[in-house]
Amino acid sequence: MKQMLLPLCRLLQEMQKERSFVVFYLCSSLKDNDEDIRQQFIESNHVSDELAAKIPYLDEKGRLNNRTQQKLSSIMTEVKNLSSRRDLVLTKKISVSDNLSFYGQKIIEPIIDLITDVALNDLQNDSDRVSAFSSFINFSEKMCRGFDHGSIGLSSKKIGKEDINKKYEELLTQQNTYRDNFIALAREEQKLIFDQYMTVNFDGNINDISAKNWFEISLKNIDRMGKLSVQLIETLEGKDDPLQKEPSPTKDKTKDKEEVRHSTGLNSFTKKQQEFINILPLFKGLNEKIKADIFRNASLGIYKKGKLLFLEGDVSDKLYIILEGWVKLYKGNSSGEETIVQMLTSGDMVAESAVFLNAPYPVNAQVAKEARILTMPSVNIRDIINTNNDFAVNVLTAMSVHSQMLMQGLESIRLKSATERVGWFLLKLLLEQGRVPDMVELPYDKSLIASYLDMKPETFSRTLKKFKQKGFEIRKDAVILPQVKALCGFCDSSLSPVCSRHGTPECPNPDCISSKDEIIFYD
C-alpha cells in the first residue's frame, strides 16, 4: 500500500530531521539557527498535513483497518501536540535528553512500527522483502541517533568522554546489527539499491570536525536514508523463485557470521521442527488457521556464537524462540562488566515480555552457542493476541511457565552452596541432554557458566576440582560421571518433574534431599 507507506516514510524523515535540529539547537550557543529550526517545524507540519489529508481517502477505500487507524491516530495526535514542546525548545527551557526520549519513543519508533505493520499486511508484498525493509528502517534510525549523540558530544566538548563514547558505541553496535540483518534478508535488487546509496559515508575522525559541519552531515544522511527507503518500497511487491532465495556465493557478505533460511509458514519447516514447535506452550492446541496466521511472516535462522540479537533499549520488533543452541541474556555496566541474567536454550522465548507488552528489550541478548532460532514480527504477534482468545491464553500460560522456571532457577542458584550450584547445574544439563547417561556436555564457556551460577570463575574452577576428586572426569567441554546416578543427590523440586526415574523404584533420592557439600554416589 504505497499510498500509505510513502507519506509515512516522509513523516519519519522529517521527524528525524526535526529531532536533529532540536538536539543541535539546544546544545549550540549559536543564535543564527533560529530561522532554520523554525523552517523545519513548518516543513514537519506540512508533511503531517499531507498525510492527514490522505487518511479519509484511504479509509473510504477500505485501506485502513481498525488497528492501523488507532496507531496512526496516536501518532498524528503526538505530532499535532508538538507546538507546546517546540516553544520550550525555542526558549531553551527543556533538556536535550528529554527531547531525545520524546521524539524516539512517542513519534519515531511508533512510525517505524506502523510502517512495518502496513507493509506486512499488504498481501501483494513479499514477507522476506518486508523483513529486509524493516531492518533497513531500524538501521537508518540507529544511524540517525548516532549522529545526534555525535552532535551532543561535539557541541558540549565531551567527545571522548566515557558516557558519550559508551552510548555512541552502543548505537553503532545496534546499527551494525540491523545492517547485517538487512544484508542477510535482502534480495539482490535491494542489496544493489543499498550499496548504491551507502557508498558515501562519514569515515573520518569525529574529533576533526566542527559541531556545525557534523550537524549538516547528519541532515544529508537523513535525506539519503529517505531516498533509499522510497527506492526499497518499490521492491516490496512480488514473489521470488524459491531457487533464488539461496545466498549468493559471491555476494553474501555475512556467510561466515550467519546463515539464515527464511520461511513463510510452518509447513516449510522440517517435520522434526514442526513437532517440536507444536508442543511448545505458546502454540500447543492451536488450530491450523491460527498457526498459519502466526507463522505467516516467520523466519528460521542459524546464528553463530557471538551473534548479537538485540541490545537493551532496542525496539522489541521480533519474537525470538530458540529451537536449538544457547542464548545469554545479560546486563552491562559503564566499566564493561557483564552480569548474566539468564541462559536460554531449546524451547525458550527470548525476552518475550517486551514483545507482548510492546516495550523496549530490558536486557542484551547474544548467542552463546550456535543456535537455530525462530523469529516472528512482533506487530503480527500482538495483533493475533488481540484478536484470538486461544492464542492469548497460550501467551499467558507460556509467560507463567517461564516466570515459574525463572524463579525456581534463581532459587536453585542463589540459595545453594558452590558445590550444590555446580552439581544442580550439571544434573540439569544431564536431564536436558539425555543422549549419554553418564556424560554432561558443557554447552558454553566455563566463564559464562560461572557467571550464570553467580560465582567467580576461580570459585567455579575450585568446585570442579572437588568433583574431580570424587571420580568425575573434567574435560574442556564435558564432564564424565563416575556412575550414571552420581548427581542424583543434587536433585530438587525444579528438576524432579523432568527426570524419568523420579517416582519409580530406580530413584535413589525420592525426597529430593540435597547432598549439601558431600557428594553422594548411588549404586
pTM of the model: 0.57
∠504-510-513 over CA atoms, to 5°?
160
Numbered ranges of CATH 2.60.120.10 in the chain: 254-397
- Phi, then psi, of 76 in degrees rounded to 5: -65, -35
Extract the C-alpha cell encoding 235: 521492491
* Cell numbers linked to 132: 529486509
Question: Which residue has cell 536431564?
Answer: 431
- Residue 369 phi, psi (nearest 5): -145, 140
Superfamily of domain 254-397: Jelly Rolls (2.60.120.10)
Question: What CA–CA distance (Å, rounded) separates 52 from 7?
Answer: 10
Buried b (16+ CB within 10 A) or exposed e, 16-53: bbbbbbbbbbbbbeeeebeeebeebbeebbebbeebee
| CA dist., res. 516 & res. 506, Å (int) | 22
Among 496, 478, 489, which residue's Cα sits nearest to residue 520?
489
Tell me what pLDDT residue 243 has.
32
* Residue whose entry in the numeric block shows the C-alpha cell 555476494: 251
Can you tell me the distance from the alpha carbon of 312 to that of 295, in angstroms, rounded to the nearest whole number? 26
* Arch. (CATH architecture) of 416-498: Orthogonal Bundle (1.10)
Rounded to 10 degrees, the C-alpha dihedral 152/155/157/162 comes to 0
Residues of the chain with CATH 1.10.10.10: 416-498
Give the separation between CA 473 and CA 479, rounded to whole angstroms: 6
Residue of 218, 203, 26, 214 lying closest to 140 (CA atoms): 218
What CA–CA distance (Å, rounded) separates 4 from 453?
A: 50
What pLDDT, on a 0 to 100 scale, did the predictor assign at position 29?
67
User: Grid coordinates in use for 67?
Assistant: 488497528
| Entry field: residues in the chain | 523
What is the reported pLDDT for 339?
A: 78
CB 453 within 8 A of CB 488: no
User: Mean pLDDT by 10-residue block, N- to C-terminus, for the chain (523 residues)?
Assistant: 86 95 83 79 93 79 72 90 91 87 88 84 76 85 86 66 56 72 80 78 56 87 92 78 36 39 58 82 87 83 86 86 88 69 84 86 88 88 88 85 64 72 86 78 81 83 90 88 86 76 81 57 48
Q: Which amino acid is at 231?
A: Q
CA-CA distances (angstroms) from residue 495 to 32, 157, 402, 425, 457?
Answer: 68, 55, 15, 10, 25
Q: What element of type H or E holds 368?
A: strand 364-377
CB 309 within 8 A of CB 106: no
